[in-house]
């Protein structure tokens, strides 16, 4: 059979058109992707920050100083928000003693701040809470409770849940925040923008970012602090009060399990730290015998940043 004749010039034009179409489509897709990325990661966040900053100034203009502190502190790295928040916090304190304490304490040290029932004797009142100074960030320090302070389920029912909507978050930012800290101490605790990553191993969703005065560590944060030398502090014990509230302890070590805010292997489970200090992914969200180990930031303006200790 005779081979069909192919016009080289026509064939070249056809190939050229295909290349042009391919390059055009690729360019359109790249532009669309770039525009979407720019919108999502730059333009919209910048707009949200400007609007949030304006709301903070509006709260201040209306005399709502505590609300203004919270609004500015959530925007920690935006413009002069951290300086505005710290200055306003200082204006509400009767003296500089709490700020001085936060400025001078060293990473890896333990300090007392706030109070909560711990010895189990309700008649003698709450005891000072002991915290590990875990990290610092340009004018603030991160405190992590040395012990499990209470027995509270991650959520009050067995459902799919994330940190943003769980009952433990509400308990920490209402019951614990108001019960553990005086009004002056509450002023020292900035509102924090908290990211909630997915569980990379299980693929479960971490949920929306939150704004919290008090929260608990994520799986990723625990891993970072472990690499920084804080492994000896990962396993811990419940206070006598927390034990009386139902926190289960190891038969020999007397250590206990405590919640992390990262979701577990399923959306109705959550990660937690086991009695031996290892992270686990299978904590049923409404389990009542795991403990709570809060973290809070404190204002520390003028603090000179130091390296993490090699504990």
Going from the first residue of the chain to its last (311 residues), give the mean pLDDT of each consecutive group of 10, the final group possibly shorter: 60 70 66 52 69 94 96 94 96 95 95 97 96 95 98 98 98 98 97 95 92 97 92 94 97 96 96 95 96 98 62 35
Is 212 part of a structural domain of the chain? yes
Is 25 part of a structural domain of the chain? yes
Q: Are residues 256 and 108 in the same domain?
A: yes
Can you list the alpha helix ranges (DSSP code H) found in 156-301? 167-171, 177-180, 183-187, 219-225, 240-244
How many independent structural domains does the chain possess? 2
Q: Which of 47, 72, 93 is the last residue of a domain?
A: 93
Is 4 part of a structural domain of the chain? no
Q: Are residues 82 and 212 in the same domain?
A: no
Is 5 part of a structural domain of the chain? no
Q: Are residues 50 and 154 in the same domain?
A: no
Is 143 part of a structural domain of the chain? yes
Q: Are residues 49 and 179 in the same domain?
A: no
Q: What is the pTM of this model?
A: 0.85
Residues 199/264, Cβ–Cβ less than 8 Å? yes
Q: Are residues 152 and 192 in the same domain?
A: yes
Q: Are residues 219 and 270 in the same domain?
A: yes
Q: What is the pLDDT of residue 309?
A: 45
Q: What is the pLDDT of residue 18?
A: 74
- Domain of 55, in residue numbers: 11-93
Which residue matches tokens 């909560």? 116
Q: List, in sequence order, every residue forming a beta bridge with 273; answer none if it has no partner.
A: 258, 279
Residues 286/154, Cβ–Cβ less than 8 Å? yes
Q: What is the pLDDT of residue 202?
A: 78
Chain-centroid distance of CA 76 in Å reads: 14
Q: What is the pLDDT of residue 308?
A: 46
Q: What is the pLDDT of residue 300?
A: 96
Is 279 part of a structural domain of the chain? yes
Cβ neighbours of residue 164 closer than 8 Å, sequence gap 6 or more = 196, 207, 208, 209, 210
């Amino acid at each position: 059979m005779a081979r069909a004749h192919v016009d080289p010039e026509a064939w070249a034009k056809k190939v050229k058109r295909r290349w042009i179409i391919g390059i055009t489509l690729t360019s359109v897709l790249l532009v669309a992707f770039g525009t979407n990325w720019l919108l999502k990661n730059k333009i919209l966040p910048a707009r949200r920050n400007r609007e949030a900053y304006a709301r903070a100034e509006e709260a201040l203009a209306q005399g709502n100083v505590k609300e203004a502190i919270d609004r500015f502190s959530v925007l920690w790295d935006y413009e002069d928000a951290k300086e505005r928040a710290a200055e306003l916090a200082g204006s509400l304190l009767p003296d500089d003693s709490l700020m001085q304490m936060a400025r001078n304490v060293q990473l890896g040290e333990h300090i007392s701040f706030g109070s909560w029932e711990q010895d189990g004797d309700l008649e003698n009142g709450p005891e000072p809470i002991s915290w590990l100074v875990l990290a610092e960030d340009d004018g603030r320090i991160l405190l992590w409770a040395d012990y499990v302070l209470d027995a509270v389920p991650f959520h009050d029912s067995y459902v799919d849940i994330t940190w943003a909507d769980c009952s433990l978050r509400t308990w920490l930012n209402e019951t614990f925040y108001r019960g553990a800290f005086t009004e002056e101490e509450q002023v020292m605790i900035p509102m924090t923008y908290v990211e909630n990553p997915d569980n990379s191993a299980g693929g479960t969703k971490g949920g929306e970012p939150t704004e919290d005065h008090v929260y608990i560590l994520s799986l990723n944060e625990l891993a970072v602090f472990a690499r920084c030398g804080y492994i000896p502090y990962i396993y811990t014990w419940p206070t006598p009060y927390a034990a009386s509230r139902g926190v289960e302890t190891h038969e020999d070590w007397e250590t206990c399990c405590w919640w992390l805010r990262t979701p577990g292997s399923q959306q109705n489970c959550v990660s937690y730290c086991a009695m031996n200090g290892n992270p686990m992914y299978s904590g049923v969200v409404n389990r009542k015998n795991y403990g709570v180990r809060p973290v809070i930031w404190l204002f520390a303006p003028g603090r000179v940043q130091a390296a993490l200790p090699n504990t």
